[in-house]
């Protein structure tokens, strides 16, 4: 008859830290048969647990042969050993080693969970098993709510759930009083009588005396092997109070043909079960996890805030810039070489010859571009029909202008310096001029309506809102129609005085704090010509390109350092703003990256500590057949859950923060540049999950690599 378990010439040597070794077992030769209830006895430190760990497949570092159920353990690789532990042996420990955050039922089903058995089947089998050990009414309890004897019964139920051939119990009664010990012993005896091989380590002579065989170990050697002749197999009496143990057969493959599942998939811990297990664990230490998630949430929430702030500023700049430029219009001015030149009207103005030259320059540039890229749509030519003129003198010192109330006219008291602009063609009623126009002056499609070159109902100036500061006693209603005098002195000494009424207020957001007088170009030209015929010339040329791509091309040409021309001041302002906002964006990104790094470190530390705290649990999982992969999966699921939780909390945190910041900014500076895109929240969630999972990689692999023997030894 084939023996259930044979050990042939087994030696076990522990490697100690300082390159020394310690031999714990010497040349063990022993055979066990099914149906035996073996007691292993011996002094503490004699090698009993070492032997148990070898038999149980927890420790595969030995020499010699261990043949269990026809299988040579030496021939099994890691996977094979996992399977062996899962299906062939069941462990019972002195300290029960139940997983405290799982219910009794979940503790027992754990081994089935690792085999991906269906929920219904699991519960059925576990309930049945717990009924056999008399605990079927306590399924929902947590281990801490049970007595020691009850805990050990649960541990036995857990060890039996996969119907193993060999039960290994390392001092199963060591933590129990003698009466409870005998009850546990009864159960173990019944298991043996049912045809299993039960090997237990015990210190109790009483326990040893009831077993079928006693093997004594001293200093790593078997010194005595005694068969108890008086041992009687249990004659099953029918007793309603005492639970009788008939182990239900669990055939893991029983429903295989029906379900037609791939065997590989079926045998392992499913992702859902892993998530459920980690959820249980996270719930068990919910305060810690909540605090950690909150820490990460601060980082995630700030990340969203940074993104929305960054795009808020960009939106703000974009909107502001829209009032300065129109993608279908190119503004050209003359490039000046020095600040002094920039003040010279002569250096800025376009004469008729200049205009012809400009047209020729741009047209030949476009021709070249077209030649270089035959497929492009640059079929555009600058001609008299698509250009417009403009005037802007924006030096800080000159021109000098004064504004006076008509009644105070005589005083000619200069109050401020003005910028005089012609109204650019891209200003439109809808997006720029939100102010009021006087009744007399009609304004249509960005231009004052004209008759014979003159404004239809007389011209007038439009001012930015800053004009109110000059007339502190006027309301916005009756400032319209007020006459002002503007003195404009050109660099050559010629000065001009324009007196006209205020016909409108321009609301151009950014410029509104500067004192700018806008005037219709044609009207301005006429006013100039009245005083000095032939003196007036435009400083800006507007090209109506009709398409953004041509605008971009021409702007490229203008911004070329070799070009004689420059874009508009507005364009360079826009460039400055966008580089500013990208600087702001970059620094915000750096800040949030740092905060995310801190979050990642925090997750790493917490998960790492969790691995240390749960060393024993990991050992238990391994003893019931969990593979490295399964352990990794449980911990990875945990970091995934941490990521989801932190992401959610981060979003909530962000919404609260945004509300507060928005209120504060609105009521202080009146402007809250925060723009949200819906996908920011997805990004935040994704970042949170990725960060948590990355931070969880190391702890998870650390947990997976834990040596089961070491972890179980840990107290
Ligand atoms: P028992 O269970 O009989 O009390 P053990 O099998 O736990 O004894 O230990 C047997 C001997 O092996 C002891 O001297 C113990 O110190 C030693 N030992 C056990 N585990 C290790 C280990 N991981 N490293 C080094 N020595 C060990
Ligand atoms: Mg021991």
- C-alpha span between 668 and 56 (Å, rounded): 72
Q: Summarize pLDDT for 614-662 with one digit per residue, the tens.
A: 888 899 999 888 999 999 999 999 999 999 999 999 999 999 999 999 9
Find all residues with CB under 8 Å of 225, minimum gap 6, and list them. 30, 213, 214, 215, 216
Q: Summarize pLDDT for 41-76 with one digit per residue, the tens.
A: 999 999 999 999 999 999 999 999 999 988 899 999
Q: What is the pLDDT of residue 450?
A: 56
Q: Summarize pLDDT for 434-465 with one digit per residue, the tens.
A: 444 444 445 555 455 555 545 555 567 777 77
Contact by Cβ (8 Å): 245, 133: yes
Give the ligand 1 atom nearest the CA of 42. 3
Contact by Cβ (8 Å): 153, 135: yes
Q: Summarize pLDDT for 365-395 with one digit per residue, the tens.
A: 988 888 887 766 668 889 999 998 988 765 4
End-to-end Cα spacing for the chain:
41
Q: Supply the residue whose CA is at minimum distance from atom 21 of ligand 1.
A: 14
Q: Summarize pLDDT for 464-493 with one digit per residue, the tens.
A: 777 777 776 666 666 777 777 776 766 666
Got the DSSP string for 75-135? Answer: G--HHHHHHHHHHTEEEEETT----TTS-HHHHHHHHHHTTT--HHHHHHHHHHHHHHTT-
Tokens of 341: 């030149």
Whether residue 400 is predicted with pLDDT greater than 60 in this model: the reply is no
> Strand 213-218 to strand 89-93: parallel, antiparallel, or no bridges (unpaired)?
unpaired
Q: What is the pLDDT of residue 660?
A: 93
Q: Which of 314, 306, 35, 59 has its CA nearest to residue 191?
A: 35
Q: What is the pLDDT of residue 91?
A: 92
Q: What is the pLDDT of residue 401?
A: 46
Give the ligand 1 atom nearest the CA of 710. 23
CA of 219 to the centre of ligand 2 (A): 13
Find all residues with CB under 8 Å of 607, minimum gap 6, and list them. 635, 638, 639, 642, 695, 696, 699, 700
Q: Summarize pLDDT for 154-167 with one digit per residue, the tens.
A: 999 999 998 899 99
Which of 45, 48, 203, 707 is the best mutation target for the ligand 1 pocket, counting ligand atoms within 8 Å of the beta carbon and taking the most?
45
CA of 51 to the centre of ligand 1 (A): 10
Q: What is the pLDDT of residue 447?
A: 53
Taking residue 499's Cβ as centre, other Cβ atoms within 10 Å add up to: 12
Ligand nearest to the CA of 711: 1
Q: Which of 425, 504, 495 has its CA nearest to residue 460?
A: 504
Q: Supply the residue whose CA is at minimum distance from atom 2 of ligand 1.
A: 49
Q: Supply the residue whose CA is at minimum distance from atom 5 of ligand 1.
A: 47
Contact by Cβ (8 Å): 435, 473: no
Give the ligand 1 atom nearest the CA of 709. 23
Q: Which long-range contacts (CB under 8 A, 24 or more apart) does 678-681 make?
A: 680/304, 680/307, 680/308, 681/304, 681/651
Whether residue 260 is predicted with pLDDT greater than 50 in this model: the reply is no
pLDDT category at 411 given cuts 50, 70, 90 is very low
- C-alpha span between 565 and 355 (Å, rounded): 11
CA contacts within 13 A on the Cβ side of 519: 28
Q: What is the pLDDT of residue 343?
A: 61
- C-alpha span between 654 and 301 (Å, rounded): 4
Q: What is the pLDDT of residue 546?
A: 84
Contact by Cβ (8 Å): 581, 317: yes
Q: Of residues 448 and 315, which shows the higher confidence score?
A: 315
pLDDT category at 346 given cuts 50, 70, 90 is confident
- Torsion angle in degrees (nearest 10) through CA of 192, 196, 197, 199: -60
Q: Of residues 61 and 571, which shows the higher confidence score?
A: 61
Which H or E element spans position 620?
Answer: helix 615-623
Q: What is the pLDDT of residue 581?
A: 73
Q: What is the pLDDT of residue 459?
A: 67
CA angle 688, 690, 696 (to 5 degrees): 100
Location of structure tokens 């004897």: 149
Average pLDDT score, the chain: 81
- C-alpha span between 87 and 378 (Å, rounded): 76
Q: What is the pLDDT of residue 1?
A: 47
* Bridge partner residues of 225 (DSSP): 215
CA of 25 to the centre of ligand 1 (A): 9
CA of 191 to the centre of ligand 1 (A): 28
Q: What is the pLDDT of residue 237?
A: 47
* Bridge partner residues of 462 (DSSP): 504, 518
Tokens of 591: 């800040």
The answer, yes or no, to whether the previous bond of 40 is cis (omega within 30 of 0) is: no
* Bridge partner residues of 7 (DSSP): 30, 66
Q: Supply the residue whose CA is at minimum distance from atom 19 of ligand 1.
A: 50
In the chain, the percentage of residues whose pLDDT exceeds 90 is 34
Find all residues with CB under 8 Å of 49, minimum gap 6, and list them. 170, 201, 713
Instruction: Write out residues with Cβ below 6 Å of ligand 1.
Output: 14, 16, 22, 24, 42, 44-50
Q: What are the DSSP E strand ranges found in 426-562?
A: 443-444, 447-448, 450-451, 454-455, 461-464, 483-489, 495-506, 516-519, 540-544
Q: Supply the residue whose CA is at minimum distance from atom 25 of ligand 1.
A: 14
CA of 31 to the centre of ligand 2 (A): 21
Give the ligand 1 atom nearest the CA of 220. 10
Q: Supply the residue whose CA is at minimum distance from atom 24 of ligand 1.
A: 14
Q: What is the pLDDT of residue 571?
A: 64
Give the ligand 1 atom nearest the CA of 46. 3
CA of 130 to the centre of ligand 2 (A): 27
pLDDT category at 587 given cuts 50, 70, 90 is confident
Q: Of residues 612 and 569, which shows the higher confidence score?
A: 612
Contact by Cβ (8 Å): 443, 437: yes
Q: What is the pLDDT of residue 700?
A: 93
CA angle 554, 559, 563 (to 5 degrees): 90
Average confidence (pLDDT) over 191-204: 92
CA of 615 to the centre of ligand 2 (A): 18
CA of 381 to the centre of ligand 2 (A): 95
Would you say the C-alpha torsion 288, 291, 293, 299 has a positive or negative sign? negative
């Amino acid at each position: 008859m084939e023996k259930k378990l044979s050990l042939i010439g087994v030696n076990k040597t522990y490697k100690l830290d300082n390159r020394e070794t310690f031999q714990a077992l010497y040349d063990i030769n022993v055979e066990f048969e099914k149906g035996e209830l073996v007691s292993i006895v011996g002094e503490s430190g004699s090698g009993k647990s070492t032997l148990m760990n070898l038999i149980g497949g927890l420790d595969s570092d030995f020499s010699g042969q261990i043949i269990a159920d026809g299988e040579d353990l030496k021939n099994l690789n890691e996977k094979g050993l996992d399977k062996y532990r899962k299906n062939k042996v069941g462990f019972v420990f002195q300290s029960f080693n139940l997983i405290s955050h799982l219910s009794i039922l979940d503790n027992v089903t754990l081994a089935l969970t690792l085999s991906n058995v269906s929920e219904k089947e699991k519960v059925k089998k576990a309930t049945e098993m717990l009924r056999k050990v008399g605990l079927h009414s306590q399924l929902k309890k947590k281990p801490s709510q049970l007595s020691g004897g009850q805990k050990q019964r649960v541990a036995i139920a857990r060890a039996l759930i996969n119907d193993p051939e060999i039960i290994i119990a390392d001092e199963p009664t060591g933590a129990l009083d003698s009466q409870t010990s005998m009850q546990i012993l009864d159960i173990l005896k019944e298991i043996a009588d049912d045809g299993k091989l039960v090997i237990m380590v015990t210190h109790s002579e009483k326990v040893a005396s009831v077993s079928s065989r006693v093997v004594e170990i001293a200093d790593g050697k078997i010194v005595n092997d005694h068969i108890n002749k008086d041992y009687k197999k249990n004659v099953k009496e029918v007793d309603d109070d005492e639970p009788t143990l008939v182990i239900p057969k669990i055939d893991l493959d029983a429903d295989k043909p029906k379900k037609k599942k791939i065997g590989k998939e079926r045998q392992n811990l499913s992702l859902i079960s892993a998530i459920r297990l980690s959820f249980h664990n996270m719930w068990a230490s919910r305060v810690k996890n909540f605090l950690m998630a909150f820490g990460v949430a601060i980082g995630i929430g700030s990340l969203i805030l940074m993104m929305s702030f960054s795009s808020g500023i960009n939106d703000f700049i974009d909107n502001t810039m829209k009032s300065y430029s129109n993608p279908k219009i190119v503004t050209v001015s003359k490039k000046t070489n020095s600040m002094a030149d920039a003040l010279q009207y002569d250096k800025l103005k376009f004469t008729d010859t200049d205009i012809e030259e400009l047209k020729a320059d741009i047209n030949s540039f476009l021709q070249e571009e077209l030649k270089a890229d035959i497929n492009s749509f640059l079929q555009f030519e600058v001609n008299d029909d698509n250009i417009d003129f403009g005037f802007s003198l924006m030096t800080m010192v000159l021109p000098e202008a004064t504004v006076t109330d008509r009644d105070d006219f005589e005083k000619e008291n200069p109050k401020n310096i003005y910028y005089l602009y012609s109204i650019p063609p891209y200003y439109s009623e809808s997006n720029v001029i939100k102010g009021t126009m006087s009744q007399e002056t009609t304004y249509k499609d960005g231009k004052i309506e004209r008759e014979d070159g003159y404004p239809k109902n007389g011209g007038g100036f439009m001012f930015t809102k800053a004009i109110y500061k000059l007339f502190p006693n006027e309301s916005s209603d009756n400032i319209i129609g007020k006459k002002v005098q503007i003195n404009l002195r050109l660099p050559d000494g010629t000065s001009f005085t324009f007196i006209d009424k205020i016909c409108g207020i321009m609301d151009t957001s950014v410029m509104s704090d500067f004192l700018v007088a806008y005037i219709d170009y044609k009207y301005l030209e006429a006013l100039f010509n009245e005083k000095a015929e032939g003196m007036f010339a435009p400083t800006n040329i507007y090209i109506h390109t009709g398409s953004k791509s041509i605008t971009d091309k021409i702007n490229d040409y203008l911004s070329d350092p070799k070009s004689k021309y420059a874009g508009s001041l507005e364009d360079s302002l826009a460039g400055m703003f966008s580089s500013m906002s990208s600087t702001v964006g970059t620094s915000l990104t750096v800040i949030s990256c740092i905060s995310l790094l801190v979050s990642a470190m925090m997750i790493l530390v917490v998960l790492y500590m969790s691995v240390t705290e749960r060393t024993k649990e990991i050992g238990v999982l391994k003893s019931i057949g969990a593979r490295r992969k399964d352990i990794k999966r449980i911990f990875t699921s945990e970091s995934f859950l941490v990521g989801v939780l932190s992401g959610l909390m981060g979003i909530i945190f962000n919404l609260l923060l945004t509300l507060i910041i928005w209120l504060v900014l609105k009521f202080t500076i009146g402007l809250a540049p925060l723009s949200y895109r819906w996908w920011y929240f997805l990004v935040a969630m994704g970042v949170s999950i990725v960060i948590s999972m990355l931070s969880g990689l190391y702890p998870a692999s650390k947990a997976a690599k834990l040596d089961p023997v070491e972890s179980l030894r840990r107290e």
